[in-house]
Structure 1
């Protein structure tokens, strides 16, 4: 993996585009069992990252992840802000240097997702973004250890994210506002899981096209 933060402007632009395209559909999901403001909050963070993209693109990975995490913490409201901030700040915290192998990134991502679990006091099966992040972290480690090609890894990661978000439909929400609905939360896809899946798909597509 030769990816550097120089590709960050393209990554955040792809994320912004896919979230904008799916904003109405995701807001409808969120209004069914949440506060209805998830996309609005997320877009505030995306806009902050777009504004800082030139600076971030010139940093090494630890500094870039730290910058991303701090921006998300200050710009994204709701639970998503603190959880995504935790993810990126822990990527920075556990990173040893500015170079990345697939195996090393898989290790870092798994540690970061574990930190999100601890911060949110949640786990897989509770109808949250973790139902996407956890299976993606597991698949990433499995594929990296098996020596799969980057194209195969990106395809597997996208498939894992899609399966994760689909699985939230039949889950009982036990975290956040949706948990107050009890059994009525079953039958609805979690909006946070959906945006996590959309962003992972956008990032992996850009990386695949870049040949990274």
Structure 2
């Protein structure tokens, strides 16, 4: 089960490598520290995961990421990602494996946690504008008997479209909401970090 650990490491390194880009996006409509916060969270998560006795347990891995974010990351996105990963971990058991069904279950729980913690809904220029279309890809993929890899490819494209969509709408949550319609034209940094995670998961399995 080293593959799960490797996938997380790949995603974490991708986030960390794009720290400055995420900061730049956040500087336009927020505090300018989203990249730093994401890098701090994933660096802490990697340290915890590497010290695990059983890194093949998806619940433990997701819990480690959630705990790392809750204990080390502030800002707007930190608590949302913490809530998402912690609730996702509770949706897993020792028999959970990487399948379309498990993605639907785990991602669905993560989305509900974000909705509850952030009191957000689609169309408010947040990470939900990426994660909900990704979730819908897996639901429709199951109906169409698509493979997991096919769903990941479609999810990566849907995530990109979702992040692009955030440029066209005004923010109504967080610091960006203070800008009102002036936030239009700027891509949401939280949506972008979610895009990177989805895209890099696909890239990892594409190798």
TM-score (structure 1 length as normaliser): 0.89
Shift of the 14–104 alpha-carbon distance from structure 1 to 2, 3 Å rule, reads closer
Distance 1:8 1:96, change over 3 A: closer
SS in 2 for 1:173: coil
Q: 1:56 to 1:124 in 2, by over 3 A?
A: farther
Alpha-carbon spacing, 1:161–1:57, altered in 2? closer, same or farther (3 Å): farther
| 1:70 alignment counterpart | 67
Structure 2 partner of 1:139: 137
Alpha-carbon shift at residue 43 of structure 1 (Å): 0.5
Look up the SS of the partner of 1:78 in the other structure: coil
Question: 1:113: Cα distance to partner?
Answer: 0.8
5+ residue gaps, structure 2, are: none
Hey, what's the Cα distance between the residues in 1 that align with 2:53 and 2:108?
24
Q: 1:17 to 1:67 in 2, by over 3 A?
A: closer
Query: In the alignment, which residue of structure 1 is the partner of 2:77?
Result: 80
Tell whether the 8 Å contact from 1:34 to 1:178 is kept in structure 2 after alignment.
Answer: yes
Offset at residue 78 of structure 1 (A): 1.2
Unaligned runs of 5+ in 1: none
1:18 aligns with 2:14: yes
CA RMSD of aligned residues (A): 1.8
1:178 aligns with 2:176: yes
Query: What is aligned with 1:27?
Result: 23
1:122-150 residue CA offsets vs partner (Å, 9 max, x unmatched): 01100011111111111122213322012
1:130-169 correspondence runs (5 A)? 130-169=128-167
1:63/1:17 CA distance change after superposition, 3 Å: closer
Name the CA distance, whole Å, in 1 between partners of 2:17 and 2:82: 24
Q: Deviations over 1:152-186 (max 9, x none)?
A: 11110100100000000011100000000111111
* SS of residue paired to 1:189: coil
- State how 1:72-151 maps to structure 2 within 5 Å: 72-100=69-97, 101-151=99-149
Distance change in 2, residues 1:168/1:67 (3 Å) = same
Verify the 8 A CA contact 1:9 1:57 in the aligned structure 2. Answer: no
Which shifted more, 41-50 or 16-25? 16-25
Q: How far did residue 56 of structure 1 move?
A: 4.3
The structure whose RCO (Cα within 8 Å, separation 6+) is larger is 1
